[in-house]
Amino acid sequence: MAVQSSPQRAGAAAAEPAFELKASSFTLPVIRLLGHDMDAVESQLAPKVDQAPGFFRNTPIVIDLGALARDADAVAFPRLVGLLRGLGMIPVGVRGGGAAQNEAARAMELAILGDHTRGARQAPPERSAEDVAVEAPPQAARGEPSVASTSMLVDRPVRSGQRLYAPGGDLTIVGPVSSGAELMADGNIHVYGALRGRVIAGLRGDTGARIFCRELHAELVSVAGHYRVSENIPADLKGRTVQVFLDHEVLRIEPIG
């Protein structure tokens, strides 16, 4: 004989929240299209990804159409989305486009995001389709530290999916960093706990920047554009207290203490 749940029990179960909806903010990389030539995009973007494959792998990215005329032909989104996915990125939405461009983006199931770049200004004239710019902090000359010095202290664990950036200074984390998290700083990065995820010091080219952590389990470590992924970190250094630094353009990982 089947046993039926009482209305009281069913009502109690239904009253227990199964999820939460929260407003949050994330810092996502942005690729700003300067033209419609997808061959040019591919030929110029692929080398950038090759320089830092761990940084771009499985990274959500927004496509900025603000430099294109709004009444221009629709962007070749099937080609562009396929290109970005082929390079390991996950295109999630577009911003700054016109009606036809947005409609083409919707057909590829891309979100239409708010346009924070145009304001009330007229759209700039379309540039040559010879270039594509990936939005990032301006790159200083290699070896030149940032002028500003604004450090950031985070006194809580960094969860998977969080991305923290300390512009112009150091980033200090008092606690563990989970796999799937990302830390970036123009200066040094200090982690007083287990370091997983991806960590990038000297983002603007400061070759004197260093990474310090209590337990090294990182998926990727980088100083001033020099990268090493987990598979290339010696096993005897994993789980140890280390510092990561550049020595004559060679990325070194050395134990502390």
Kindly state whether residues 107 and 181 are assigned to the same domain: no
- Can you give the pLDDT of all 257 residues of the chain as single tens digits? 555 555 555 555 557 888 887 765 566 778 999 988 999 999 999 887 876 676 777 888 899 998 888 766 678 899 999 999 988 889 999 999 888 888 888 888 999 987 644 433 333 333 333 333 333 343 333 333 333 457 899 999 999 888 888 888 999 999 999 998 989 998 999 999 999 998 999 988 899 999 999 999 998 898 988 888 888 889 999 999 999 999 988 999 999 97
State residue 115's pLDDT score. Answer: 60
Kindly state whether residues 157 and 72 are assigned to the same domain: no
Kindly state whether residues 173 and 250 are assigned to the same domain: yes
In angstroms, the CA 252 to CA 237 distance is: 11
Kindly state whether residues 114 and 160 are assigned to the same domain: no
Give the list of residues 6+ apart from residue 168 with CB closer than 8 angstroms, or none.
146, 147, 148, 149, 150, 186, 187
CATH number at residue 109: 3.30.70.260
User: HSE on the CB side for 81, CA within 13 Å?
Assistant: 16
Number of structural domains the chain divides into = 2
Kindly state whether residues 240 and 175 are assigned to the same domain: yes
In angstroms, the CA 158 to CA 164 distance is: 9
**First and final C-alpha spacing in the chain:** 68
DSSP label of 169: S
Residue 5 lies in a domain: no
Kindly state whether residues 164 and 110 are assigned to the same domain: no
In angstroms, the CA 53 to CA 13 distance is: 46
Kindly state whether residues 111 and 172 are assigned to the same domain: no
- Contact (Cβ atoms closer than 8 angstroms) between residue 224 and residue 205: yes
Which residue range(s) make up the domain with 58?
30-135
Kindly state whether residues 185 and 100 are assigned to the same domain: no
C-alpha pair distances (Å), 238 with each of 30, 96, 109, 196, 241? 33, 44, 40, 11, 9
Type and span of the H or E element at 78? helix 77-86
Type and span of the H or E element at 64? strand 60-64
Kindly state whether residues 127 and 193 are assigned to the same domain: no
Q: How far is CA 76 from the centre of its chain?
A: 24
Kindly state whether residues 130 and 164 are assigned to the same domain: no
Type and span of the H or E element at 164? strand 163-166
Q: Residue 245 forms beta bridges with which residues?
A: 252
State residue 228's pLDDT score. Answer: 85
